[in-house]
Structure 1
Amino acid sequence: MVGQWSGREARALREAKRMSIREFAAHLGVHERLVSKWEAGGDRVHPRPVNQAALDTCLARSDDIERTRFAALAAPEPDSGPRPDAGRSAAPGGYSNDAELLALIDTGAARGEGLAAISEKDLIMAAAHEASEHAGRAEGTNIGPSTLDQLDADITRIANDYVHTPPMPMMVEMLRVRRRVYRLLEGHQRPSDTSHLYLLAGSLSGLLANASTDLGYLDAAGEQIRASWAYAEISGHNGLRAWARGMHALIEYWSERPHRALQLAQNGLQYADSATAAVRLHNIEARIWSKIGSTADTERAIHAAADASSAAAADSLHDEVGGVFGFSDAKASYYAGATYIHLGLAEPALAATERTIELYRTGPARQRSYGAESLARVDSAAAHLINGSLDGAEAALLPVLALDEDKRIAQLEERLTGVRRRICAPAFRGVAEARALDERIEEFCGSTATRSLPPGSG
């Protein structure tokens, strides 16, 4: 233990722990200027009792290797032989080593007479030593050669597994990986790796926004997607910017704020560097316009999506990661069906929903989105009801009503509520089959994924 700490022992402890002044100050809970002042004062400065106690605790909690280094660094230097920084005059300039000289510069004392008392060689060498030490720390990193590759693989796996897996277990996995990314960001890495970590954090926040939406927590989804946007801005990744704007637009759309949703979707187009990103945003815009009731604007957005699909450009998020971030032909067809239902156009809605169901049925099982396919079936049922076909609506809904509870996402309840309104229309009043179907839908909506969560899960 140290009887009384001086600036010299404090510096020895910091160097023994391989910490910068900023890191050491944060570790002790003091301002970094105070640490600089201690070190500049050397043996002449003694920290206050509360800081003496903090230094005692810091040393006590150090490992054996750090204590050994501290003992060597804190030992009084032998009288024989000059120190590396010996020969500097402590009297005129008030410094006897690099730390003391740099502390004078930090405090602004190296001006006028103070500047005249500073040796030109001392100043140049102190600056050189500081650069060398800082560069050495900058080369250090908490990111191993395989860390980012593994995290990239995690993102791709989660984004693709989510489309055919219930939201809750996937949400746990998303949170686990994002917490790892956050811990890495608290450490030190190269700037390019830091940017990559922020991209990963943004992608995971976007996935969590999507899962929160599926479970019916739109306010939480809004927080997640705003975080995703912030990380996209930090990393400067246009693919994530475009995707986050589209997801935020959908959250506002489901929150009954269509005009705000339009602004977000249209804003996202400036970041759409790939065909997939542009097609997705135009489809989202068309869907919002159809809810507002503007047929002309809906058709304009649909034509814009068709034009954008012919481009060859791709981006790493939409096209390489894919899954939730992608926008396949099946997803585009599903969006078209929902858009036509808003406009009350049964025939094109039926064509689009049937194409969606067929594309998912015949496509790769890993890319089969149970959520989009189920919602397309609900839209198909709505189109059949517009045409007056109760049998067609019932046939379309049978696979949906058989879904496991943990896959009954919140959007299904909202869309099925619209189907129930159509069943209550005068054309089906008094029809026993219509009443039976309505009762089955009511029972289904009473046991969605959100309602099946254990008490306290919200």
Structure 2
Amino acid sequence: MSIREFAAHLGVHERLVSKWEAGGSRVKPRPVNQAALDTSLARSDEVVRARFTALLAPAGETDLLAFVDAGVSKSAVPELMSERELIMAAAHEASEHAAAAESTNVGPTTLAQLDADVRRIATEYVYAAPAPMMVEMLRVRRRVYRLLDGQQKPVDTSHLYLLAGTLSGLLANASTDLGYLDAAGEQIRAAWAYAELSGHNGLRAWTRGMHALIENWSDRPRNAVQLARGGQEFAPGGLARVRLLNIEARVWARLGNDTETDRCLRAAESVDGDRREELHDEIGGVFGFPSAKAAYYAGATCIQLGRAEHALAATERAIALYSSGPPLQRSYGAESLARVDNAAAHLINGSIDGAADALRPVLGLPEDRRIAQLGERLVGLRRRIAAPNYRNAVEARGLDERIEEFCLETAAQTGKPRL
């Protein structure tokens, strides 16, 4: 078959097949595409069959340790699962068995393990690729759902609803990063229902903020403002309130309202920072709002209003804080978006070289970390590069071509239309 025919057979873009065919480590087939390639090319070894069987299993149901029971050879293990998958599968088996051994439907060991799972996922998500993390989110949430189908003490039921809400919120965040805003909206509404059932104000506040962001990205900014304001009812102070005020400021900036934007920013600066809350301060990760993220939000808000100098200062602070902070707390998504806003500020100031320097790490991101918001923001950046003052600049054309290639590769990997 020709490359075009083979690409059509696999259901992918022909350029992606060309890159696979060229070899090298830059673009590799995803596992599901690898399985399709193995089948199409008639490979029939035991490893491929085992991998394909695992991939076809319903999400969350694959039992990696079943391969151990089946007597798979040691040499085949690296092909079937990574070292981390093997270790985590063994740990999950232990916690599941311990839960079954407890005398009640939900005991302290089970709840402690589920709490630990949520903390781990919320922390890991800031530096891990979204798609694989979704599998883990689903695994834990399905376990919570199974427990809720049983009987437990009211206090434990409330705890399980809180866990279901945080996991649904995490899934909403991941759906947003992957570009599925309708799915994100459905997940965040479920998260709000669980927040109400658990009566947890921290989750109520965080959920309202996440829903406001989803509405803003879905071109419904007026709804976003109401959601951000509604969340402040449950956040009298601390990081939860700072986050909601910063979200509201971003939406007002998008609407071009300088007065309301500045009001929110001033209010955020005067928030009582001594108030601590479990979700935002103790669990943190996706649920946190550290100084680096606050600086990134401030930069994004200033870019919306065309305040280039303020945007430069804020985004440079965000980049510096992320770069110098602990690696396991370095949010590649927020840092990359801050770099795009930094590039936009440089372009407003007439510096194409500054923009190119800011974007270099972004354009080198692995495909699995290219969140949907990046593509949308880069489209806006290309509009700035197309302005008359850059139209004949060789450096501007070169940067525009690199951004276009980035968007093309991202579209090929995700199967979504090119931005």
The residue aligned with 2:338 is 376
- After superposition, what is the alpha-carbon deviation per residue over 1:257-293, rounded to whole angstroms, capped at 9, x for unaligned? 1101000000000001441000000000000000000
Which residue identity is paired with 1:385?
L
The residue aligned with 2:35 is none
Which residue identity is paired with 1:234?
L
> TM-score with structure 1 length normalisation?
0.67
Match of 2:394 among 423, 432, 441: 432
Q: 1:171·1:211 contact (CA, 8 Å) conserved in 2?
A: yes
- After superposition, what is the alpha-carbon deviation per residue over 1:370-409, rounded to whole angstroms, capped at 9, x for unaligned? 0000000000000000001000000000000000000000
The residue aligned with 1:239 is 202
- After superposition, what is the alpha-carbon deviation per residue over 1:398-437, rounded to whole angstroms, capped at 9, x for unaligned? 0000000000000000100110000000000121211111
- After superposition, what is the alpha-carbon deviation per residue over 1:28-84, rounded to whole angstroms, capped at 9, x for unaligned? xxxxxxxxxxxxxxxxxxxxxxxxxxxxxxxxxxxxxxxxxxxxxxxxxxxxxxxxx
The residue aligned with 1:335 is 297
Q: Which has the higher contact order (CA 8 A, sep 6+)?
A: 2
In structure 2, C-alpha distance between the alignment counterparts of 1:383 and 1:311, rounded to whole Å: 30
- Answer yes or no: is 1:163 the counterpart of 2:126: yes
Q: 1:239·1:273 contact (CA, 8 Å) conserved in 2?
A: no
The residue aligned with 2:20 is none
After TM superposition, the runs of 4+ consecutive aligned structure 1 residues lying more than 6 A away are none
- After superposition, what is the alpha-carbon deviation per residue over 1:219-270, rounded to whole angstroms, capped at 9, x for unaligned? 0000000000000000000000000000000000001111010000000000
Alpha-carbon shift at residue 439 of structure 1 (Å): 1.0
The residue aligned with 1:358 is 320
Which residue identity is paired with 2:345?
A
Q: 1:453 to 1:420 in 2, by over 3 A?
A: closer
Alpha-carbon shift at residue 144 of structure 1 (Å): 2.4
The residue aligned with 2:413 is 452
The residue aligned with 2:231 is 268
The residue aligned with 1:413 is 375
In structure 2, C-alpha distance between the alignment counterparts of 1:145 and 1:282, rounded to whole Å: 37
- After superposition, what is the alpha-carbon deviation per residue over 1:174-217, rounded to whole angstroms, capped at 9, x for unaligned? 01100000000001110000000000000000000000000000
The residue aligned with 1:202 is 165
In structure 2, C-alpha distance between the alignment counterparts of 1:141 and 1:295, rounded to whole Å: 56
The residue aligned with 2:97 is none
Alpha-carbon shift at residue 451 of structure 1 (Å): 4.9
Q: Is the partner of 2:383 in helix, strand or coil?
A: helix
The residue aligned with 1:181 is 144
Q: Is the partner of 1:271 in helix, strand or coil?
A: coil
The residue aligned with 2:193 is 230
Q: Is the partner of 1:164 in helix, strand or coil?
A: coil
In structure 2, C-alpha distance between the alignment counterparts of 1:266 and 1:182, rounded to whole Å: 31
In structure 1, C-alpha distance between the alignment counterparts of 2:355 and 2:400, rounded to whole Å: 11
Q: Is the partner of 2:107 in helix, strand or coil?
A: coil
In structure 1, C-alpha distance between the alignment counterparts of 2:112 and 2:412, rounded to whole Å: 37
In structure 2, C-alpha distance between the alignment counterparts of 1:421 and 1:145, rounded to whole Å: 55
The residue aligned with 1:281 is 244
Alpha-carbon shift at residue 447 of structure 1 (Å): 2.7
Alpha-carbon shift at residue 345 of structure 1 (Å): 0.6
Matches within 5 A, 1:18-417: 141-308=104-271, 310-417=272-379
Q: 1:238·1:273 contact (CA, 8 Å) conserved in 2?
A: no
In structure 2, C-alpha distance between the alignment counterparts of 1:259 and 1:279, rounded to whole Å: 20
In structure 2, C-alpha distance between the alignment counterparts of 1:266 and 1:442, rounded to whole Å: 38
Which residue identity is paired with 1:314?
R
Which residue identity is paired with 2:217?
W
In structure 2, C-alpha distance between the alignment counterparts of 1:343 and 1:269, rounded to whole Å: 24
Q: 1:326 to 1:296 in 2, by over 3 A?
A: same
Alpha-carbon shift at residue 145 of structure 1 (Å): 2.6
Which residue identity is paired with 1:282?
L
Which residue identity is paired with 1:158?
I
CA RMSD of aligned residues (A): 1.4
In structure 1, C-alpha distance between the alignment counterparts of 2:315 and 2:323, rounded to whole Å: 12
In structure 1, C-alpha distance between the alignment counterparts of 2:282 and 2:356, rounded to whole Å: 38
In structure 2, C-alpha distance between the alignment counterparts of 1:185 and 1:454, rounded to whole Å: 36
In structure 2, C-alpha distance between the alignment counterparts of 1:417 and 1:156, rounded to whole Å: 35
In structure 2, C-alpha distance between the alignment counterparts of 1:287 and 1:373, rounded to whole Å: 17
> TM-score with structure 2 length normalisation?
0.74
The residue aligned with 1:27 is none
Structure 2: segments with no counterpart, 5+ residues: 1-102
Which residue identity is paired with 1:393?
A
Which residue identity is paired with 1:203?
T
Q: 1:273·1:314 contact (CA, 8 Å) conserved in 2?
A: no
In structure 2, C-alpha distance between the alignment counterparts of 1:207 and 1:274, rounded to whole Å: 23
Q: Is the partner of 1:293 in helix, strand or coil?
A: coil
In structure 1, C-alpha distance between the alignment counterparts of 2:231 and 2:174, rounded to whole Å: 21
Alpha-carbon shift at residue 452 of structure 1 (Å): 2.2
Q: 1:202·1:228 contact (CA, 8 Å) conserved in 2?
A: yes
In structure 2, C-alpha distance between the alignment counterparts of 1:454 and 1:289, rounded to whole Å: 33
Aligned length: 315
Q: 1:381·1:394 contact (CA, 8 Å) conserved in 2?
A: yes
Q: 1:385·1:423 contact (CA, 8 Å) conserved in 2?
A: yes
Structure 1: segments with no counterpart, 5+ residues: 1-139
Q: Is the partner of 2:413 in helix, strand or coil?
A: coil
Which residue identity is paired with 1:342?
Q
Q: Is the partner of 2:108 in helix, strand or coil?
A: coil
In structure 1, C-alpha distance between the alignment counterparts of 2:317 and 2:391, rounded to whole Å: 31
